[in-house]
Structure formats: structure tokens, C-alpha cells
């Protein structure tokens, strides 16, 4: 291994925090009599067609450049996908519901898209109840920090809900990012 020392004379580039660009939305559910992680959760990932990824999760902010695309047909086994995900796990006969809501903030003066807010919710709720909770969560974010300068529009909700017949059940909804913008701070 080489021991590198860094000094002011080194050539290179400095990049800023990467910004998620393209994303797709997916959902699924699964059930198992064996376990959750390698059982119902994995089967929910499989139904959502993201079981081959290593999954990392984000908090709930969408950058202004985010662009929804169709889910890619080809996935490299073992690659990393970063996501905003709602996951609900329950037992036999209990409803598992997961939902994501997001909306876009537009500047009140310029009408330019500023970015997006995303909220996730999960539990053993009926679909009407989880939709209500998602809308309340999004409103809480919006009215506590964004409503003076921005309009909230283009609200979208994605939900997955079912009652497992096996010992464990998992429902999930995910926004998965596929590409990133790297701003160059200096070269």
C-alpha cells in the first residue's frame, strides 16, 4: 500500500456533495413462515424487483434536478441502490401497510422548482388511514419551513398494503436513485 501525503501543490479536483438525479418508484410485499429479513422482507424486495441490490436509505428530501424514469430492466447483482423507503412488517392476519408521499416545491416568485419533500409512513393501517397520515406528515413539513416562500404541488402517493397468511409479512414502497450529479468545486 502506498502512503500518500497531501499538500497544497497536489493536482486534482474537489467535488461537492453528490446530488441524486434520476429515480424510479417501486413497491412489493412478501410473506414467510421462516423469518423477516431473509424471508418476507426479501420476498417484498423481489416483488419490487430490487432484491439484487444492496440497499441504503436516505432521509426525505428530493433535489430540484430529480427526474423520474422507468425502472431499469437490468440490475447488476450486488450493486448499491440508495433509496427513500417505507417498510412495514407484521404477523399473520395483521395488515402491513407502507406508503410514500412526495410533492414538489416551486418558488412563489420565480416559479422555478426548488426541490421536493418526501414522507414515509408504515404500520398496520387500512389504506385510507395511511393516506391520511401521509398527507398530514407532508403538510406538517411544508407548513413548518417552506410555505412562505414556496408552493407545494404535484403531490404523488404510492402505497402497498396486504394481510399476510404466513407467520411474517412485509410491505414496502421505495424511491430508488440510479444516477448522481457531482458538482466540481475546484479543479
SS (H, E, C) 82-114: EEEEEEEEEECCCCEEEEEEEEEEEECCCCCEE
pLDDT by residue (tens digit) across 27-73? 999 999 999 999 999 999 999 999 999 999 998 899 999 999 999 99
* pLDDT above 70 (res 173): yes
pLDDT by residue (tens digit) across 114-125? 999 999 999 999
- For 176-181, what is the mean pLDDT? 96
- For 134-161, what is the mean pLDDT? 98
Map out the domains of the chain as residue ranges.
Answer: 17-186
Burial class (CB in 10 A: 0-12, 13-18, 19+), 5: exposed
pTM of the model as a whole = 0.91
CATH assignment of 17-186? 3.50.20.10
- For 142-168, what is the mean pLDDT? 98
Between CA 57 and CA 106 the distance in angstroms is 25
Q: How confident is the model at residue 4 (pLDDT cuts 50, 70, 90)?
A: low
Instruction: Give residue 12's pLDDT.
Output: 81
pLDDT by residue (tens digit) across 129-138? 999 999 999 9
% pLDDT > 70, the chain: 94
Amino acid at each position: 500500500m502506498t502512503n500518500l501525503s497531501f499538500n497544497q501543490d497536489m493536482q486534482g479536483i474537489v467535488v461537492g456533495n453528490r446530488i441524486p438525479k434520476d429515480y424510479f418508484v417501486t413497491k412489493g410485499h412478501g410473506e414467510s413462515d421462516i423469518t423477516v429479513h431473509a424471508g418476507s422482507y426479501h420476498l417484498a424486495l423481489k416483488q419490487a424487483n430490487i432484491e439484487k441490490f444492496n440497499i441504503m436509505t436516505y432521509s426525505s428530501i428530493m433535489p430540484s434536478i430529480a427526474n423520474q424514469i422507468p425502472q431499469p430492466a437490468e440490475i447488476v447483482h450486488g450493486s448499491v441502490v440508495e433509496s427513500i423507503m417505507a417498510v412495514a412488517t407484521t404477523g399473520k392476519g395483521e395488515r402491513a401497510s407502507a406508503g410514500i408521499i412526495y410533492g414538489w416545491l416551486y418558488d412563489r416568485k420565480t416559479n422555478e422548482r426548488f426541490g421536493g419533500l418526501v414522507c414515509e409512513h408504515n404500520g398496520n393501517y387500512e389504506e385510507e388511514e395511511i393516506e391520511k397520515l401521509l398527507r398530514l406528515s407532508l403538510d406538517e413539513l411544508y407548513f413548518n419551513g417552506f410555505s412562505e416562500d414556496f408552493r407545494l404541488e404535484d403531490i404523488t402517493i404510492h402505497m402497498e398494503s396486504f394481510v399476510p397468511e404466513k407467520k411474517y409479512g412485509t410491505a414496502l414502497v421505495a424511491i430508488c436513485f440510479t444516477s448522481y450529479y457531482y458538482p466540481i468545486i475546484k479543479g
